[in-house]
Chains A and B, each alone.
Chain A
Amino acid sequence: MCSLALFPPLPSGQTTLCESNNELLSGSSTTEELKQDLIPLSLSFPRESLKLHSRTESSSKAAFLDHSETLWMRSAAAWRDGGLTGLLNEVTTSHTEVPKWLSMTSGCILALLRWISSFHGSVFPHVTLSSEDMIAEFSQVLNWPDCVVRAFAWHPHTDKFAVALLDDSIKIYNPKSAIMPTLKHRLQKNVAAVQWKPLCASALAIACQNCLLVWHVDPCSLSTRPSSGCAQVLSHPGHAPVTSIAWSPSGSLLLSASPMDTAMMVWDVAAESCVLLQRVGGGGVTFLSWSPDGSHVLASTPSALFRVWETRMWTCERWPCINGRCQSGCWSPDGSRLLFTVQGETVIYALTFTGTPGVPSSSIKGPQAAAVVADLSETTFKTPDGDIIIGGEIQSVAWDPRGERLAVLLKGDPQAANQPAIIAVFKTRANPIFELLPCGFVQGEPGTEPRLMHFHPNFRHGALLTVCWSSGRITHVPFYFLSTSLPHAGLSGSPPLPHPQERPADFSTQSLFTELIS
């Protein structure tokens, strides 16, 4: 098992630039020419440049709503805004105008409803959170509310990407064109995730606070502000806020998940129809990840339970965890291995799905237990600036599309100055046995923290990790290596991969339980 103690020392005060010759190169911010050379498409969104909403709509409501309306009008407004609870609340509070028995009854019903919901909340504490807090809690982005770049997505086939910003706008960058479309929509609020549709040039799905949006951004269009008519709104009652979305790799289906809804939605986006996949238990669905071969989907819940769905007949395996909910997960390119992390633990687990990749079938049994493949517990590194503690809980994990580099975003400790959030990168090997080998740490400019990361889906010379920093900067860290699985023809200038010198990793088979239900 790999641990952080095996990692190379941390160069202090330097920005990681790339991996070359099997080591991570870093430089101070003065080496501009190297930066220009190696890092294309670096972007920066200073916080000051964004026009933020000074006040949310709900807070302005109290200031402007005319309270001298008749009871009927107020009741109707309350019904429209707050549903049954709002209506009951309105009736109860305006007890001077309604008959006593009515206000008494509605007060009793309201109390009963609150009691039930508090009971529900004590079983699933997350349902008491507000929408924004919930997105922040379950997002893959570190410290989501404060993040300038709230979501990021590379297009699966071309070099363009979409960036969701703090001001609820989405910008699309394409190095081949000077036009930079900005997407804004009335319903596009608190974007939790964005993802491009595979096998399509234009469709971009966005998980918003109240709905799902699918934008159709024509790549040939010259418009910089596509109208909101280009967006499809997909919503379902009770399915909000949407915290995670996943397109099927074949591009035909879109999955969406909300922590408030125990059902996971399978959308046929073109037809705007959805199928609910509901399973009792868990109290919601927080994070989705579709395996690259399309055969499985990881769906984690707010409780200590996650599910792995197979996508042919849409049945699932239940995986109860011991300590906490499944925070993040990623799939190997062939879909045979799932790495996931659990909240409250500092290790990475692996699940192996046997059978030929791409052949999900009910006869193939899933794995019986998850094995620990890496230990990321806190480790002290000595640097010229003093000791730095690295390790702890994991925010998200990402695996590059070739399955050779694994990036792990460590939460760090916001209170402690010497325990920053940082990205640890592992090399992964599938043959002869699956193992993780240390590669190094990716750090940004001094004083900035990584917030979210993504691998480029088809980088020719290895892997390209895109990191969004707390400063609003987006940088790209290339890892140049020769793929062990692909033929080496056509790649020149990349250094050969030397044999790893590390001692053989010892596998611990510390296991979790599993039940195979449905």
Chain B
Amino acid sequence: MNIMFSTETSCWFIRKVICWRATASIAWSVLLLPPTTAVFVVLSRFSLFHPFQTISECLSLLMSASSIFSFILLGGVIIMAGFLTLEYYTVIPTIACSKIALLGQLLHPRQFINSLAHCLMGIIVGWCCAVTIGYRYEMLGYPCQNSDGYPQMCVNEYHLIVLLAGAFVGFSHSLLGVIHNINYVSFQTVQQYKYFRFKGSLPLVVTCSATQAFYSVRNYIVVYFFLGYIPRTWICKTLTLHVDSSIHPLDSIAGLLDLSLLFHLWISATFLLFMWYITLLLFRIFVTEAYSFPVQPSFTEDSHQCLPKVLTDKHPMILKFLALQDLALLSQHSPSRRSEVFSLSQPGGHPHNWNAISKECLGLLADLTHRLVAYHETVATNGRAKSLSNGSERKTSSETSSAEDLMSPRPAFLMKTPVSVFTRSVGGSSQSPLTVPFTPDLDSPFASPALRRLTAPVEQGSPWHGTVQSPHIMRRAPKLWSTSTDSQFNGSPLPSPASVPSPKQEATKPSFLSQFLQNRKEQLPEASSQALFADSQAHIWALEGLSYLVQASFTEDHFGVVQTTLPSILSSMLLLQEAVDRHFKLPHASSKPVRSTGSIGDSAYKTLRFALRATLKTAIYRITTTFGDHLNAVEMSAEHRKRLQQFLENKE
């Protein structure tokens, strides 16, 4: 944790921008609390037959001291939720390539802390709801008489069920958050002011929280029906309360089929989820707001804050993303800032800005190309040599191409993953089929995104740093690798001789557990493809930025700085186009994901590869339609020229 904080504070951007944005979003969610609570109070206490009485009761309740206390508690919960969001958010989603990886994510200690915090918050909100609804929910204990007529304190199960409902909803919220990637923050395709974005998403938040609350309460009722006696007995024991034998216990069909109880549970769960969703939504809106970086520093000490410098920064991913977004926006909308990009440095006359920007963008595109090529190779040779066991042989040639880097052995990462419960099993025989699923790769079980974000600078010092061009490959690497081994383990029905070792091991230990795990380890369809393009928003902006700048250079670039890079831009785009085309020929790559509606989790990452493919084509067309036949004068290989000709003739 302290490493985390030291690296975070070292970055001016986190300190100056992200923290302020997070604070503002939390402040707004706290400000929205009173109206939300008022609506909740009115809805929860409303009675059809005494409307005016209800309203006056609600007003007096909202003014009372206990509600002030509830407000403070709820405010605390929101601040807590906001802090957790800030801590856990990610701009690159974590995609579990197999079910076992997903399980690993769910069981990760960090996730455990998150779930625990959500349970706690749920209980607090549940208490506030119980107190606010009042009536039979208000207190945990009430005086009653036992069978002999002695007065004693009995447990109020109605109070208990609301508290536990809060905990359950909190827990399921945090679990579903992992499954639906709720911490993933996607960027909008169109820019809007924050107020309009908020207004536009509000109906979605309301419906999502209502439906999610419905399902959570349904599950909770089932769980309580079977297991409700455990917490009740426990509470009774620890607080020396008694069970009132004259009242039906609630974990019976008659007890749970109480419509008013169900309604109150549902509305409390809705209120709880609504608060969290609003906090999350506001955080997303604030943090993804476009930030305008200066292209040229006005003072030399600010030079680390200007766009060409910031683009090359790797460490807070959000910074790189916002910088790329700014690049895409300026290239589209702002001639004055474009002219700064095309300008020459004052002493010397070098196009430093353009060089830095184009180099970074081309680097990103080259990364993705390499990644795709390597993935394609592993899939194409699926079932042949490239298995876990011969990873060491491959290492010999690994310094040359980054495609080889993708296959770099896992231990390099293992050393860097923080202490975890599974390291012990990994330290042993990492080849056994039982432990393979639990091997932490940076993606799935052990790299909760925030962690990855924060461990990135540590990785830079690793011996691998020299061979890779950017952290993308490093970060991506284990995913591909695990993906490939996964498919290798059970994807090939006819194992070729080279992959004998692993089936042999399976044959020696055919335990039930391993069989079960093998089944669970089956690839989630298209997940590997999604994982491959998980950070493609960056590539999309890079493509947009480059193509718009090249388009603008046709009329605006007075010094011809873009001309010098045009061949490499075109060739890297065409290379990527080729790689993307090949990737989409793979099974599952072009199958559309199922639309998930009614979930607050952003599923934009599922379609990023389609967006990238479309953007890439549009980018090439943008250049070809702008330059037309002038492109024949650009030097390029015959193959590329042929491909470009297709674009010039509008035949792609």
A binding-site residues for B, Cβ under 8 Å? 155, 157-158, 199-202, 219-220, 250-253, 266, 268-273, 275-278, 311-315, 356, 358-360
Tell me whether A250 and B192 are in contact (CB under 8 A).
Answer: no
- The answer to whether B650 and A273 touch across the interface, beta carbons within 8 angstroms, is no
Scoring B196, B334, B607, B652 by chain A CB atoms within 10 A of each residue's CB, the highest score goes to B196
A518 to B190, CA, bound (A): 17
User: Are the CB atoms of A250 and B190 closer together than 8 Å?
Assistant: no
* Nearest CB of B to A379, in Å: 42
Nearest A residue to B608 via CB reads: A271
Question: Distance (Å) between the CB of A232 and the closest chain B CB?
Answer: 8
Chain B residue contacts of A359, Cβ below 8 A: 333-335
Is B147 on the interface with A (CB-CB < 8 A)?
no
Complex contacts, B651 vs chain A, CB 8 Å: 201, 219-220
B592 on interface, CB distance cutoff 8 Å = yes
B595 with A272: CB separation less than 8 A: yes
Question: Closest chain B residue to A275 by CB distance?
Answer: B190
Q: In B144-190, which residues have CB < 8 Å from any A CB? A: 188-190
Contact B610 A270 (CB under 8 A): yes
Q: In whole angstroms, how far apart are the Cα atoms of A250 and B551 in the complex?
A: 11
Contacting chain A: which of B271-279, B406-414, B568-576, B612-620? B612-620
What are some 27 contacts across the A-B interface (CB < 8 A)? A155-B650, A157-B625, A157-B650, A199-B618, A199-B625, A201-B650, A201-B651, A219-B652, A251-B618, A253-B189, A269-B614, A270-B611, A270-B613, A271-B607, A271-B611, A272-B595, A273-B189, A275-B188, A275-B189, A275-B190, A275-B200, A277-B192, A278-B199, A312-B333, A314-B192, A315-B193, A359-B333
Complex CA–CA separation, A200 to B616 (angstroms): 10
Chain A CB within 8 A of B54 CB: no
Interface residues of B in 602-652 (CB under 8 A from A): 604, 607-608, 610-611, 613-615, 617-618, 621-622, 625, 650-652
Is B292 in the interface zone, CB < 8 Å from A?
Answer: no
Give Cα distance in the complex from A314 to B199, angstroms: 14
A272 to B650, CA, bound (A): 24
Q: Kindly provide the distance from the CB of B330 to the nearest chain A CB, expressed in whole angstroms.
A: 11
Closest B residue, CB atoms, query A237: B597
Q: Do A266 and B621 touch across chains, with their CB atoms under 8 A apart?
A: no
Whole-angstrom distance between the alpha carbons of A353 and B351 in the complex? 34
Measured between beta carbons, the chain B residues less than 8 angstroms from A358 are 335
B residues 124-140 near A (Cβ < 8 Å) are none
- Are B333's CB and A251's CB within 8 A? no
- Evaluate contact between A356 and B332: CB separation under 8 angstroms: no
Please, how many angstroms separate the alpha-carbon atoms of A199 and B647 in the complex? 10
Interface residues in B535-552 by Cβ distance below 8 A to A read 544, 548
Residues on B with C-beta less than 8 A from A275 are 188-190, 192, 200
Instruction: With CB as the reference atom, state the residue of chain B lying closest to A313.
Output: B191
The complex places the Cα of A359 from the Cα of B338 at a distance, in Å, of: 12
Chain B residue at minimal CB-CB distance from A263: B200
Whether the Cβ atoms of A253 and B190 lie closer than 8 Å is yes
Query: Which 5 residue pairs of A and B lie closest in terms of their CB atoms, listed nearest first?
Result: A270-B614, A271-B607, A199-B621, A270-B610, A201-B650
Closest residue of B by beta carbon distance from A360: B333
Question: Separation in Å of the A152 CB from the closest CB of chain B?
Answer: 19
Q: List, in ascending order, chain B residues with CB within 8 A of A360's CB.
A: 333
CB distance from A247 to the nearest CB of B (A): 11
Are A272 and B191 in touch, CB under 8 angstroms? no
Q: Which residues of A contact B615 (CB under 8 A)?
A: 252, 270
Contact yes or no, B189 A314, CB < 8 A: no
Query: Which interface residue of B189, B193, B611, B625 has the most chain A CB atoms within 10 A?
Result: B189
The closest CB in chain B to the CB of A315 belongs to: B193
Interface centre among B332, B613, B614, B652 (most CB of A within 10 A): B614
What residue in chain A is nearest B602 (Cβ atoms)? A273
- In the complex, what distance in Å separates the CA atom of A188 from the CA atom of B200? 29
A314 with B190, Cβ < 8 A, contacts A219-B650, A272-B592 known: yes
A268 to B608, CA, bound (A): 11
Q: Of B196, B200, B607, B618, which is within 8 A of A200 by CB?
A: B618
The minimal Cβ–Cβ distance linking A58 to chain B, given in whole angstroms, is: 27
Task: State whether B621 touches A251 (Cβ < 8 A).
Answer: yes
- With both beta carbons as reference points, the residue of chain B lying nearest to A271 in the complex is identified as B607
Which residue in B200, B548, B607, B613 is a CB contact (below 8 Å) of A272?
Answer: B607
Chain B residues with CB under 8 Å of A219's CB are 650-652
Task: Check B189–A268 contact: CB distance below 8 A.
Answer: yes
Contact A273 B604 (CB under 8 A): yes
Contacts of B621 in A (CB 8 A): 157, 199-201, 251
In the complex, what distance in Å separates the CA atom of A261 from the CA atom of B135?
43
Across the interface, which residues of B come within 8 angstroms of A155, CB to CB?
A: 650
Q: Do A266 and B190 touch (CB < 8 A)?
A: yes
Q: B603 — nearest CB in chain A belongs to which residue?
A: A273
Q: CA of A312 to CA of B329 in the docked complex: distance in angstroms? A: 9
Interface string of B324-353 (1 = CB under 8 A from A): 000000001111000000000000000000
Q: B610 — which chain A residues lie within 8 A by C-beta?
A: 270-272
Residue on B nearest A518 in the bound complex, by CB? B196
Distance to closest chain B CB from A200 (angstroms): 6
Considering the chains assembled together, what is the distance between the CA atoms of A364 and B192 in angstroms? Answer: 17
Q: What residues of B have a CB within 8 angstroms of the CB of A252 in the complex?
A: 189, 544, 615, 618
Contacts of B188 in A (CB 8 A): 275
| CB-nearest residue of chain A to B614 | A270
**Bound CA–CA A312/B330 (angstroms):** 11
Partner of B196, one of A157, A199, A253, A314: A314
C-alpha gap A266/B191 in the complex (Å) = 11
Given contacts A268-B189, A359-B334, contact A201 B652 (CB under 8 A): yes
| Cα distance A277–B614 in the bound complex, in angstroms | 23
- Distance in angstroms from A494 CB to nearest chain B CB is 21
A199 to B595, CA, bound (A): 27
B335: chain A residues within 8 A (beta carbon)? 356, 358-359
Kindly provide the distance from the CB of A316 to the nearest chain B CB, expressed in whole angstroms.
Answer: 10
**Interchain CB contact under 8 A, A276 and B200:** yes
With CB as the reference atom, state the residue of chain A lying closest to B648. A157
Question: Which of A200, A220, A268, A270 has the most chain B CB atoms closer than 10 A to its own CB?
Answer: A270
Complex contacts, A253 vs chain B, CB 8 Å: 189-190
Inter-subunit contact B592/A312 (CB<8 Å): no
Q: Apart from A273-B604, A275-B192, what 12 extra A-B contacts exist at CB < 8 Å? A: A200-B614, A200-B617, A202-B652, A219-B650, A250-B332, A250-B622, A252-B544, A253-B189, A271-B604, A271-B610, A277-B200, A313-B191
| Contact bitstring B422-453, A, C-beta under 8 A = 1, else 0 | 00000000000000000000000000000000
Shortest CB distance B288–A (Å): 13
Complex CA gap A199/B648 in Å reads: 11
Query: A176's closest neighbor in chain B, by CB?
Result: B649
Determine the distance from Cα of A272 to Cα of B614 in the docked complex, in whole angstroms. 12
**Measured between alpha carbons, how far is A199 from B335 in the docked complex, in Å?**
21
Residues of chain B within 8 A of A158, CB atoms compared: 650
Bound together, the chains give a CA A448 to CA B621 distance in angstroms of 40
Closest CB of chain A to B314's CB: distance in Å?
26
Q: Which residues of B contact A199 (CB under 8 A)?
A: 617-618, 621-622, 625
B622 A268 Cβ-Cβ under 8 A? no
Tell me the complex Cα distance, A275–B548, Å. 23
Residues of A within 8 A of B604 (CB): 271, 273
With a cutoff of 8 Å between Cβ atoms, the chain B residues found around residue A272 in the complex are: 592, 595, 607, 610
Bound state CA distance, A202 and B199, in angstroms?
A: 36
Name, among A253, A266, A268, A315, the residue most crowded by chain B CB atoms within 10 Å (CB to CB): A268
Name B617's closest neighbour in chain A (CB-CB).
Answer: A200
For the complex, give the distance between the alpha carbons of A269 and B650 in Å.
20
Q: What residues of chain B lie closer than 8 Å to A315, measured between beta carbons?
A: 193, 196
Please name all residues of chain A whose beta carbon is closer than 8 Å to the beta carbon of B618 when the two chains form the complex. 199-200, 250-252
- The chain B residue with its CB closest to the CB of A276 is B200
- Report the bound CA distance from A360 to B329 in whole Å: 12
- Please, how many angstroms separate the alpha-carbon atoms of A278 and B607 in the complex? 24
Chain A contacts for B548, CB-based, 8 A? 250
Give the docked Cα–Cα distance between A314 and B192 (Å): 6
Smallest Cβ-Cβ distance to B552: which chain A residue: A358
| Most chain A Cβ neighbours within 10 Å, of B190, B607, B613, B651 | B190
Chain B residue, CB-CB nearest to A232:
B592
Assess the B192–A313 pair: CB atoms within 8 A: yes
